[in-house]
Amino acid sequence: MKRFFYHTITTLLLVSITLGAASPAFAVSVDTFNPNYLLSDKEIEAWQSMTTSDIQAFLEEYDSFLATYQVPDKNGTPRQAADIIARAAAEHRINPKYILVKLQKEQSLIKSKQPTQKQLDWATGYGICDACSMDDPTLQKHKGFGVQVDSAAGIIRWYYDHVMTEPWIRRPQTPYTIDGIEVIPANYATAFLYTYTPHLEGNKNFWKLWQEWFDQIYPDGTLIKSSADPTIYVIQNKRKRAITSMAVLKTRFNPNLIITAPATELARYETGSPISYPNFSILREGTNYYLLDDDTLRPFADAAVVQKLGYHPDEIIDVTALEIADYPRGAVISSGSHAVQGRLIRLKENNAVYYIKENVYYPLYDEKIAKTNFPTLSIEKGSIKDIEGLTQGTPILFRDGTLIGITGSNKVYVVEYGKKRHIASEDVFLSLGYSWKNVVWTNELIGMTHETGLPISVRLEKPTTTPPVVLSKNNTTAPSSTAESNEGPKDKKSVMVITPPELTTYVGQAIDTPVDTYLIADYETGTVLAGKNIETVRPLASFTKVMTAYEAYKNGINESKIMTYVPEKHKALYGTFRVASGEMIRTRDLLAAMMVSSINTAAKMVVNGVVENEKDFITRMNSQAKEWGLSKTSFVDPAGVEVANQTTAKEFALLFKNILKDPQTKKLLAMKSYRYTEVLDLDGKPDHFDTHTNGLLAKKDLPFTILASKTGYLDEAGAGLVMLIERPRDKKQFIVITMGNPDYTNRFVEPEKIARYAIQQF
C-alpha cells in the first residue's frame, strides 16, 4: 500500500480499509491535520466505493440505529437508511463515505443508539446555519432524513457543476480566513467542505472521522516490510511488531505472505513489542520454565515436567525476568498435560481432520486450515478413541491475514478478527501488494462460517487544482460499473437518439418511463406483450457482442486457443483492457471478459480467434441477421463501438431469442462473474476477475430470476439492457429490453421497474 500524510502531495494509489467497531482504535494524530487539504476530489466523487450492502454492513458493524431505520426517502418512498444513502450517492455521484461521515459529524447518527427525532430530521445539517432555528417555517422543506441525505450529496455535486458560475462558492488556490486563520484550499473538495461548513474545527472533525473510519490500514495478521528496511513486521492490534529472526518467522507464519510497503506507511504504525522467540520455545528464567504458546507464557509445574514431556536441554533458552515481563501467563503445564503444542489428526472413521490441544478437540471443516494455521504440524492418523473424553471446541477459522476465495465465486477476501473482508477489486488486491498464488480457495461452508466484515476499497489520493468538468444532466461522465468495463459515457458532446413525441408508439398499456424504447415479450412464443417505440432504429452499442459471441461459437471457436494481444491489431475505440502487449489469454477467458465486463478489445481478440480478417466475421454476422429476417439490423464492428451497428427493439428480441437456443452462448450470457489467469504474463498482473455490468444481478430482493443478460452504452444509444427473466412461481419467462435510457447513473432503476411490471401483469 502506498500512503503519505495528508499534507504530502502524492500521485500514488492508496488503499482505504474501513475499520469495524470491533477493531482496536487507530490513533489519528492531529499533528498531521492540514487545513488546506481535507480530502481529494477523486475520493469525494468515488460514488461507487460502497454498495448498498457495504453501507449496511458498515452500519451494522457500528451497531448503529440507522442499521434498522426505515424512513421515507426524498420522494416519500419508505426505504432503509443504507438504501437512501446509496441512492443519493449514485444519483449525485458523491462518495457514500462522505455521507456517512457527514451523518456522524453533524448529528452523531452512526454511533448513536437512540437518536432524537430532531437528530434524524436534520441528519446532515443541510439548510441550517449558526443563526438559524430548526423550527423556522421556511426551513421545513429541508426536514427529514431522506431529504437531508439527498441534499448533502446534491449540494456537493451542485458545487462542482456551478463553481465557475457562482463566485460565492469557495475555490482552490484562493486564500480565505476561516476562524481567524488563513486557509488556502488545495483542491475543490477541500474548498467545497469549507463552503458547506465554514468552520475550522468542524472540518477538522470531518477529517478525523474520515481518518478513523477510512484511513489506509492493513488488516491484522499482515506480514509486511518496507522497501528501505529488511525488517519484517506483523500487524497485530494495529501495531507493527518486528519479527527478529527467520526461526521466529517460520514457526509462526508463512514467509510467502510478506508484502512490501513504503516506509512512510510503516511509520504510521505504533511499534509494539518484538517477537523474539520461535513459537513453542522453552524459556528458562532462574528455576522457572515456560512454554511460549504464541504470545502466552505457560509455566511448567517443575523441571521434571519439562523432562517428562521430552524437551531436550539444548532447546531451552535462558531469559531474564525483564525480557519476559510483558508476556501474559497461561495455564500451568503439569505431568498430566498432553498435546500442549497441539496435534492434528485425521480420524479413520470419517476422514475428518481435528486439532487437539490439551482436553479440547476442534473441527477443521477444510484441511487447508491445518496447513495455513499450523505450519509446523503434520496431520497424524487417528481414530475416534483419540477424541473420546475430550470436549468439542468451536470450528477453527483461518488465521488473520489469510487470503481466501470461496469455490464457485470469484470473490476474494482477507480474514481479520475471524471475519472475511471482501477485497472489492483486482486493483485493490494488487495495490495492497497481495499475490494471487497466496489465495487459499476454500469451500462454501468455511465461507459461511467466517462472518462477513467490512469490505476493503480503493482510494486515489491525488490533490488537484484542475477545474472540474461542468456537466449537464444529459451528458454525464459517470465512471463505468466495473474496473474493466468498456461501457459508460465517453466525455464527448453528443445526442442520444430520441424518438420524436409525434412518432412515439406503444404496444399494450403504456408504462410511465423516461426510457425511449422498451419491450416485453413472451419468451416461449415471441409475442410482444408491451412496448414503446419498438420499431425505432437505434444504435446497438454493446448488444452487438451478443451476436459476436454467437457467431464465434457457430464458427467453431476453440475455447482453449491462446490469443496474443497485439495493440496495433486489437486495441478498441473505447475503454481499456488491463493487458500488456504480447501477453497471452485463452479465448474462453476473452469471451467471458467480452460478455461479463463488456471489454471491447476482448471482442476483437475473440474474432481473431475465428478468422484473421475481421471484415469476414462482420459479413457472417450480417448474413445471419438476414437469414433471421432482420431487415433493420446491421453490424459494422464486433464490439458495438460504432453508431452504425443498429437494430430495433422488436428485431433484437427475435435475435436474442434465436441466440438463446444455442447452449454455449446462453451459458455465456448467464455468467455473473469470472476469474482467470493469463497464459503469459509480462507486467506482473496475470490475474483478472470481475462481476457482470448488469447491476441487477447483485440485487437480492427481485421477484424474478435473471437467466441471461447483456448491457450496452454509447452516448448516441443511451444505456441499454436486455434480459431473459423467469417468474419463480410458474417458471414463465420473458424477454425484457430497454434502450435509450438517458439516466446512466441510475440505469438499472427503469429496467427493474419494467421487469417487475412484466412479472405482475402477464
Nearest to 73 by CA among 65, 63, 83, 64: 83
pLDDT score of 16 more than 70: no
Of the listed ranges 359-363, 428-432, 610-614, 641-645, the least confidently predicted one is 428-432
The mean pLDDT of the chain is: 85
Is residue 700 helix, strand or coil? coil
> How high is the pLDDT of residue 216?
60
Q: Which helix (H) or strand (E) holds 675?
A: strand 673-677
Contact between residue 306 and residue 343 where contact means Cβ atoms under 8 Å apart: no
Question: Using DSSP, how many helices (H) and how many strands (E) does the chain show?
Answer: 22, 36
Alpha carbons 449 and 329: distance in angstroms, whole number: 30
Q: Which runs of E-coded beta strand occur in 333-384? A: 343-347, 353-357, 360-364, 379-382
Cα dihedral sign, 160-164-170-171: positive
Stated pTM of the model = 0.50
Provide mean pLDDT across the span 448-477: 51
Percent of residues, the chain, with pLDDT higher than 70: 89
**Across 124-128, 131-135, 290-294, 346-350, least confident range:** 131-135
Domains of the chain: 13-18+27-214 (no CATH), 343-392 (no CATH), 403-454 (no CATH), 501-761 (3.40.710.10)
Residue 478, pLDDT above cutoff 80: no
* More confident site: 147 or 226: 147
Q: Regarding predicted confidence, which is higher, 6 or 322? A: 322
Provide the pLDDT for residue 26. 38
pLDDT band at residue 761, thresholds of 50, 70 and 90? very high
pLDDT score for 79: 93
Percent above pLDDT 90 for the chain: 58
| 3-class SS of residue 118 | helix
Query: Residue 132: what pLDDT?
Result: 62
Q: Rounded to an integer, what distance in angstroms lies between the CA atom of residue 613 and that of residue 228?
A: 51
**Least trusted range by pLDDT, from 336-345, 491-500, 693-702:** 491-500
- The CA angle 123-124-126, to the nearest 5 degrees, is 115
Confidence of residue 12 (pLDDT cuts 50, 70, 90): very low
Query: What pLDDT is stored for residue 33 in this prediction?
Result: 84
371-425, pLDDT tens digit by residue?
Answer: 999 988 999 999 999 999 899 999 999 999 999 999 877 789 999 999 998 887 7
584 burial via Cβ count (<10 Å: 0-12, 13-18, 19+)? middle
Which of 48, 46, 91, 85 lies closest to 67 in space, CA to CA? 85
Asked if the model's pLDDT at residue 366 lies above 60, the reply is yes
More confident residue, 159 or 460: 159
Report in angstroms the alpha-carbon separations of 111 from 51, 73, 118: 20, 21, 16
Please report the pLDDT score of residue 498 as a whole number.
87
